[in-house]
Amino acid sequence: MTELDAVVVGAGPNGLAAALTLAAAGLSVRVVEGADTVGGGSRTAELTVPGVRHDVCSTVHPLAAASPFFTWLGLQQRGVELVHPEVAFAHPLDAGPGGVVRRSVAETAAELGAAGKAWSRAFTPLVERADAIVPAVLAPLRGLPDHPLRAARFAPIALRSAEGVAKRFDDPRAQALVAGVSAHAMMPLDKLPTGAFGALLTVLAQSVGWPVVRGGSQVLVDVMTDTLREWGGDVVTGQWVSSLDELPRSRVVLLDVAPSQLAGIAGDRLPKRYRAALRRYRYGPGVCKVDWALSGPVPWLDPAARRAGTVHVGGTFEQVAAAEAEVAAGRHPDEPFVLVVQPTVVDPSRAPAGRHVLWAYCHVPSHSTVDMTAAIEAQIERFAPGFRDLIVARSTLTAADEQELHPNYVGGDINVGIATLRQMLFRPTVRWDTYSTPDPSIYLCGSATPPGGGVHGMCGMYGALSALRRVFGVRSLPDAPVPASSRMGAGAIV
């Protein structure tokens, strides 16, 4: 049997990014995926009624828009169209207008009244330096970034909790915005690094935006897969891997899997001590997700929320903080913080005329089997009376179901590992190069490595660069082969 240069286990965005980086260096690569379709957390499927296409996991792609990996790949030149809602994210409140984050700091600040000045003071310097800050944050936090002084401007806000950041604004709308966006960290809002999570996502909203992929997130991974094949790589689906012995022979194996899975798959190819460290890796809370097909757009009372791609639902800073604290304490909140995404606001192609797609999730304790549909719908109804009357069909996944469907999301943790400071720096174990393992032919390339969860491909790219450096003597990112369309002089496809 011929030996391949590399096998990648898992065709999520990071596994595909790893395979593309290796293929660009001229290596022979095969990706082995357990599910019947590629994409992992970036798939799209008819989850409710025929003709209505739902993103199974990710929909909102600020990280893809900002990712140096996707810039390298030329995502948009290859046919992925990122479409932007007028409002990146909205946060309705019970009393009066809620908070709204738009495409620029000036537009956002203009709607915050007296607090607009403080908002502008906090975010203008960060957005102006986004070109230095974003690549520094989306990289392993172990060396100096390319532009250390410009990137360092992020440190003061990043070293605060969401609570600390919110105190800078004497306005309930601005404080609620900070709560909602920082709660993506899935941690109590008085803990580090919730401020960093919120600040990064807010900077992205006001620079690259919070777009969705026209046609659904599947388009993004399908384009990655087609490009990999164009570059000579190969993808096999429907083969779950439980041992390295099941894989074709190769010089290296890269795994887009959770650390607990790596320990089992590699078995005694890895030393006992390292496997024990993998098993000590800590996962965060889970999510319970609901997808709906609707007969009309969500009737938000707050008009800004009707034009938003994402709506953070849960009320004031204090109410969101209380809900997240409940989850951290192992309880299911009666009034959870709910993250709502409404892609058809900007991409009607996902459903037949007159139909709308909506998804929402709330955080729940790890491994929860509790169906939170009623609590989630009650929270949406609180800010959008009449919402329930529009429901045509729904599909719910509890946190336990999430893990069943996506083995990386241990206990339903969609970030594959809690974002404590230690696990941000050393993910998944304490090593200088955390993509490598004690076996020089085995590498990690999924979101349990830096920079963590999200569709950005950076874990895959850095995992591949580690293998390229250690085994193949390639010391820098190879050039991406030029897209076929550009070679023919057709220009960008979009």
Ligand X SMILES: Cc1cc2nc3c(=O)[nH]c(=O)nc-3n(C[C@H](O)[C@H](O)[C@H](O)COP(=O)(O)OP(=O)(O)OC[C@H]3O[C@@H](n4cnc5c(N)ncnc54)[C@H](O)[C@@H]3O)c2cc1C
**Candidate list 8, 20, 27, 42; residue touching ligand X; CB under 6 A:** 42
Task: Give the nearest distance from C-beta 232 to ligand X in angstroms.
Answer: 21
**Candidate list 4, 15, 89, 133; residue touching ligand X; CB under 6 A:** 15
Task: Pick out residues in 205-224 that bind ligand X (CB under 6 A).
Answer: none
- Asked whether position 384 contacts ligand X by CB under 6 A, the answer is no
Whole-angstrom Cα distance, residue 23 to residue 229?
9
**Candidate list 133, 241, 254, 360; residue touching ligand X; CB under 6 A:** 241
Per this entry, what is the length of the chain?
A: 494
Would you tell me the crossing angle of helices 130-137 and 116-128 to the nearest 10 degrees?
70
Query: Is the Cβ of residue 243 or residue 295 nearer to ligand X in the bound state?
Result: 243
Q: What is the DSSP letter of 411?
A: G
> Of the ranges 36-44, 100-108, 134-142, 159-167, which one interacts with ligand X (CB under 6 A)?
36-44
Whole-angstrom Cα distance, residue 447 to residue 281?
13
Here's the x/- map for ligand X, 331-370, by CB under 6 A: it reads as ------------------------------x---------
Which residue's beta carbon is nearest to the bound ligand X? Answer: 12
Task: Give the nearest distance from C-beta 380 to ligand X in angstroms.
Answer: 16
Query: Is the Cβ of residue 85 or residue 446 nearer to ligand X in the bound state?
Result: 446
Here's the x/- map for ligand X, 245-284, by CB under 6 A: it reads as -----------xx---x-----------------------
Query: Is the Cβ of residue 254 or residue 323 nearer to ligand X in the bound state?
Result: 254
Task: Give the nearest distance from C-beta 486 to ligand X in angstroms.
Answer: 27
What is the end-to-end Cα distance of the chain in Å, rounded? Answer: 42
> Of the ranges 51-59, 105-113, 317-325, 349-357, which one interacts with ligand X (CB under 6 A)?
51-59
**CA distances in angstroms from 156 to 151, 191, 372, 386, listed in the order given:** 11, 15, 37, 43
> Of the ranges 7-15, 174-182, 198-206, 481-489, which one interacts with ligand X (CB under 6 A)?
7-15
Task: Give the nearest distance from C-beta 338 to ligand X in angstroms.
Answer: 12
Whole-angstrom Cα distance, residue 315 to residue 484?
49
Angle (CA) 39-180-17 rounded to 5° is: 20
CB 4 within 8 A of CB 249: yes
- Asked whether position 44 contacts ligand X by CB under 6 A, the answer is no
> For residue 195, what are the contacts with CB-CB under 8 A and spacing of at least 6?
157, 158, 159, 160, 161, 162, 164, 165, 182
Q: Classify residue 197 as exposed, middle or buried by CB count within 10 Å of its CB (0-12, 13-18, 19+).
A: buried
Phi-psi region of 274 (alpha: psi -120 to 50; beta: other; left: phi over 0): alpha
CB 256 within 8 A of CB 20: no
Task: Give the nearest distance from C-beta 242 to ligand X in angstroms.
Answer: 6
Query: Is the Cβ of residue 32 or residue 139 nearer to ligand X in the bound state?
Result: 32
Here's the x/- map for ligand X, 441-480, by CB under 6 A: it reads as -----xx-----xxx---x---------------------
**Candidate list 4, 6, 8, 10; residue touching ligand X; CB under 6 A:** 10
Angle (CA) 58-428-156 rounded to 5° is: 75
CA atoms within 13 A on the CB side of 308: 26
Largest CA distance in the chain: 70
Task: Give the nearest distance from C-beta 341 to ligand X in angstroms.
Answer: 7
Cβ-count burial 356-391 (b if 16+ within 10 Å, e if not) = bbbbbbbbbbbbbeeebbebbbbbbbbbbeebeebe
Q: What is the DSSP letter of 120?
A: H
Task: Give the nearest distance from C-beta 106 to ligand X in angstroms.
Answer: 26
- Asked whether position 41 contacts ligand X by CB under 6 A, the answer is yes
- Asked whether position 63 contacts ligand X by CB under 6 A, the answer is yes
Query: Is the Cβ of residue 240 or residue 271 nearer to ligand X in the bound state?
Result: 240
Cis peptide before 451 (omega within 30 of 0): yes
Interface ranges with ligand X (CB under 6 A): 9-15, 32-35, 40-42, 57-61, 63, 240-241, 256-257, 261, 287, 289, 361, 402, 406-409, 414, 446-447, 453-455, 459
